[in-house]
Amino acid sequence: MNEAVFAEVSMLVLLTGLIVWMGFIVWDLARKSQAGRFGTIALFTILGAGVVGFIVKTVLVEIMQI
């Protein structure tokens, strides 16, 4: 396994873990603050927009390289 393959695999695995961890943090924040259903949805929507933006950017970069 060369360095480029290792970097790609570790990026996918660790980034997925980070996204899952951030989802848990948002869920815990909503639960501890007693945000309710609407507040929890708002937290996940607004804070999840950054994750969605990162994923869209990655997909667009891969499409542009073809």
Distance CA 21, CA 8 (A): 20
Distance CA 59, CA 64 (A): 9
pLDDT for 1: 83
Helix 36-65 vs helix 3-32: crossing angle, to nearest 10: 160
pLDDT for 54: 86
Alpha helix locations (H) across 1-66?
3-32, 36-65
Mean pLDDT confidence for 6-26: 91
Q: What is the pTM of this model?
A: 0.72
Total structural domains in the chain? Answer: 1
Q: 26 with 44: CB under 8 angstroms?
A: yes
What residue numbers bound the domain in which 31 lies? 3-65
Q: How many residues does the chain have?
A: 66
